[in-house]
Structure 1
C-alpha cells in the first residue's frame, strides 16, 4: 500500500515554498501542484508559460529540504471546449505544463478531457482522440503520464449538466479503449461516483491499470432531498453554484464513504501511487474554515484509517 499522502496545493494561499513547509509540518510527503495560467483564481504555484523563468533548481532543493515530493502538476480545464479559441489556449497551456513536468522530473500531469457541449458523446469521443493522441505523444516523448479525473463538472454548465465525457464506468471504458496509451491514466475520485449512486469500489478492479493517483474528499447524500431533486440536482433557488440540493462535499471522514473498505481494496490491488486530499469546506458537516486545520484533521484521519483498513 502506498505511503505517499498529500493534497492539492490551491486550498492554501501563499508561495509554493510556504505550501511545501505547511505540508511537511502537517505530516504530508507529496503535493499536487496547481499550474493554471498566471492570474487564475484557481492559482498558479508554478508558472508554466515560460519555463526559462522558472527556478527549477530552487524548486528541487525545496522538495529535498522539506522532504515533500511534487507528484503531479495540474491544470483541470476543458480540452474539448466549444469555443475554439479557448480550446486552443487550454491545449497550449497543457502542453506547457507537460514540458514543466519533464523539467522538474514530475511523473504526472492532471487535467480533464472535458466536452464540446454543441455535440453528442459520440462526436466528443472522436474529437477526444483527435486532440489527445498528439497530446499523449508529446507527453510520452517527455516521460510524462497524463491523468484525467472522473468528475462530470456540473458547475461548468448553467443548469448543472455533465460537462465532461469521463465520469461513469461506461464512459471511462470507452475512453480507455480509444486511448490505450501507457502514459494515459486516471486520477480516481470515489466521491463523484458516490453522489451519482454508482458503486465506487468496483471500478478499482476494472481500472486498476489506469488508476495512478487517488483524490480524497468525502460527500454526504440526503436521500429525502434526492427524491425531490433527482440525480441532476436542484434547479431553483440555489444558494450558490455548488448547491445541488441532495449532496455536498466535505472533509474526509465526515461523510458517507467507507474509507476503511476503500483503502483495503487499494491494498489488495497493490496500489502505490499518491493519495491527494482535495480539501473541501462544506456548508454543513465537517465545516472547517481554516484549511490548515482541515488538512491536519484529514491527515490524522487518513493515518488512522489507512492503518485500520477493513478487508
Structure 2
C-alpha cells in the first residue's frame, strides 16, 4: 500500500513547491483534482487533454521526485437537475479521457444525487422514506436517473480501461456498502468504491466491519478521520446542518488522522484492509479546520506511515547515512 495525498489541501502552493514538499514528507503517490467541487489547483484539465507535451512534462516532474498518480478526482453531482448536472458530467467525461491518455487506472467521483422528481430543480437526498411519495422519489432517482446513467458510464470506463471509484459520501445515492453493491450489480466491475472511512463514522457506521462487506469492490481508499464531538453529539445526534467551517458548533468534524481515532484503531483498519486483499494506494484527505493545512498533513502522514502494514525508510535519515 503506497502512501498518497489528495493535493487540494496544499492548493495554496504552486505545483513544483507542492511536489517538493510532499516528496520530502515521504508521500509516494498523488490524487489530483480535475474540477467540479475541486478547484483543480495543480492540474489544468483542458490544457492536459489538448497538449501531449504538457502531459509528458507533468509526468516527468513527478518521476524526478519518485512520485506517481494514484487517481484523478472529479467529484461533483453529475446527476443534479438542470445545467449544473450537465456541466459536472462534462468534467467527469473529460477526466476519464485524461486518465486514459495518462494511463491512470482510477477516477474518483461521487455517485451523484438527482432531484426527487422530474420537476425538481435541486438535488434531494432522501434518508427517511416514511411517506409513499418518498418511496416513489427513491424509485425515480435510482431507476429513472442513476442506473441508466451509470450503466452507460461503466461501459465508457471499460472502453477506456478506467476504474470508477465512487466515494461513500452522504448526500449521494451511494453512501454505504449496501448502496454500493446495488449500483455494482446493476452496472459492472469497473464500478467500485473509493472507501472513505470518515463518512461512515459520522453516519454511525463501523468502517472496519464495513471493509469485510466490501471485499472485491474497493478500487481506492482514503485515509480520513472524524471526531464525534462530546457534549454536542450527545444532545443533537449526528445529523448536523451547521456549516462545515464552524467546527466549534458541530456534532462531528473532519480531523487530522489520529485526532478522532488513535493509532491502534488505524492499525486494525489497515490490517483488515490487507486481509481483504486490497494492496492499492491509501490516500490521505486532510480537511481538519482546527490546524494549519501543512501541519495536518505532516501529522497525518506520520500516523499513516506508523500504522500501514509495511515498513518505511525515513528519507532524511537515509540521505544522512
Which category of TM-score, normalised to the shorter sequence, fits these structures? Answer: 0.7 to 0.9
Partner of 1:109: 107
Alignment of 1:54-69 (within 5 A): 55-69=54-68
**Residue of structure 2 in register with 1:16 after alignment:** 15
Q: Is the 8 A contact 1:214 1:276 kept in 2?
A: yes
Q: Distance in 1 between matches of 2:224 and 2:21?
A: 19
Deviations along 1:128-149, one digit per CA (max 9) or x if unpaired, are 1211222222221111111110
User: Alpha carbon RMSD of aligned pairs, Å?
Assistant: 2.3
8 Å contact 2:3–2:305 — kept in the other structure? no
Classify 1:294/1:93 alpha carbon distance in 2 versus 1 (closer, same or farther; 3 Å).
Answer: same
Contact conserved, 1:217 with 1:251, CA < 8 A, in 2? yes
* Unaligned segments of structure 2, at least 5 residues: 118-136, 312-321
1:303 aligns with 2:299: no
1:43 alignment counterpart: 40
Q: Distance in 1 between matches of 2:160 and 2:186?
A: 22
Superposition TM-score, scaled by structure 1 size:
0.85
Write out per-residue CA displacement over residues 206-227 of structure 1, whole angstroms, 9 at most, x where no aligned residue. Answer: 1121112111111111354223
Count residues in correspondence.
286
1:233-264 deviation per Cα after TM superposition (whole angstroms, max 9, x unaligned): 256xx684767721111000111362111011
Residues 70-89 of structure 1 deviation map (CA, whole Å, 9 limit, x = unaligned): 11010110021022x22111
TM-score, normalization by structure 2: 0.82
Residue equivalent to 2:316: none
Secondary structure of residue in 1 paired with 2:239:
coil
Moved more, 223-232 or 95-104: 223-232
1:130 and 2:148 correspond:
yes
- Report the 3-state secondary structure (helix = DSSP H, G, I; strand = E; otherwise coil) of the residue aligned with 2:45: coil
In the alignment, the residues of structure 1 paired with residue 201 and residue 71 of structure 2 have an alpha-carbon distance, to the nearest angstrom, of: 24
What is the CA distance between 1:170 and its match in structure 2? 2.7
SS in 1 for 2:307: helix
1:188-207 aligned within 5 A: 188-207=195-214
1:147 aligns to what?
A: 165
Structure 1 contact 212–274 (Cα < 8 Å) conserved:
no
Give the structure with the higher percent helix.
2
Return closer, same or farther for 1:308/1:7 CA change in 2, 3 Å cut-off: closer
Separation (CA, whole Å) in 2 of partners of 1:243 and 1:122: 38
